[in-house]
């Protein structure tokens, strides 16, 4: 893992290393609702997602799966990720459903909406919502 640790300070990403928070259902596999956990065992990963995420991991990036699956489904999720060969550092459960996410942080945050294909990321100019600056 490409992190630096200093006593009593949170780990710091090294230059050029990204911290990916990646959804599971509808992003790396079929959209399986929590109400149908039996499907979580049998669904197949999207091949381009598996290949791209493992490439990012091998390049030293942080991979965290952040899912709306509930805590009681965490082990099923970990077993599925491991069975299919996903490389990752952590799994966070309990992301609220709904999709109207807006991340506020004191650090630069980038978001990419999954639209059916996992690839390397490219730069593109888009319009985003931001806080007003003084004088605006």
Mean pLDDT for back-to-back runs of 10 residues, the chain (136 residues): 62 86 94 92 95 96 94 96 97 87 78 82 81 80
Query: What is the structure's pLDDT at 43?
Result: 96
Does residue 40 belong to any structural domain of this protein?
Answer: yes
Does residue 3 belong to any structural domain of this protein?
Answer: no
Domain count, the chain: 1
Q: How far apart are CA 106 and CA 120, in angstroms?
A: 26
Decide: 71 and 94 in contact? Cβ < 8 Å.
Answer: yes
Does residue 1 belong to any structural domain of this protein?
Answer: no
* pTM of the predicted model as reported, rounded to 2 decimal places: 0.81
Does residue 27 belong to any structural domain of this protein?
Answer: yes
Query: What is the structure's pLDDT at 22?
Result: 94
CA dist 75 to 65, 103, 111, 123, Å?
Answer: 13, 27, 27, 36
Name the residue range of residue 112's domain: 11-135
In the three-class reduction of DSSP (H, G, I as helix; E, B as strand; rest coil), residue 77 is classed as: helix
Does residue 57 belong to any structural domain of this protein?
Answer: yes
Does residue 6 belong to any structural domain of this protein?
Answer: no
The CATH number of the domain holding residue 27 is 3.40.50
Does residue 29 belong to any structural domain of this protein?
Answer: yes
Does residue 66 belong to any structural domain of this protein?
Answer: yes
């Amino acid at each position: 893992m490409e992190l630096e640790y200093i006593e009593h300070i949170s780990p710091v990403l090294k230059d050029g290393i990204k911290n990916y928070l990646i959804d599971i259902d509808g992003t790396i596999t079929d959209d399986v609702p929590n109400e149908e956990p039996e499907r979580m065992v049998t669904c197949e990963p999207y091949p381009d997602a598996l290949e791209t995420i493992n490439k990012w991991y091998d390049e030293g990036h942080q991979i965290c799966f952040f899912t709306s699956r509930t805590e009681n489904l965490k082990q099923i999720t970990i077993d599925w990720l491991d069975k299919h060969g996903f490389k990752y550092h952590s799994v966070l459960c309990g992301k609220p459903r709904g999709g109207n996410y807006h991340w506020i942080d004191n650090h630069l945050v980038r978001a990419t909406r999954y639209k059916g294909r996992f690839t390397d990321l490219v730069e593109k100019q888009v319009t985003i919502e931001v806080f007003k600056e003084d004088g605006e």
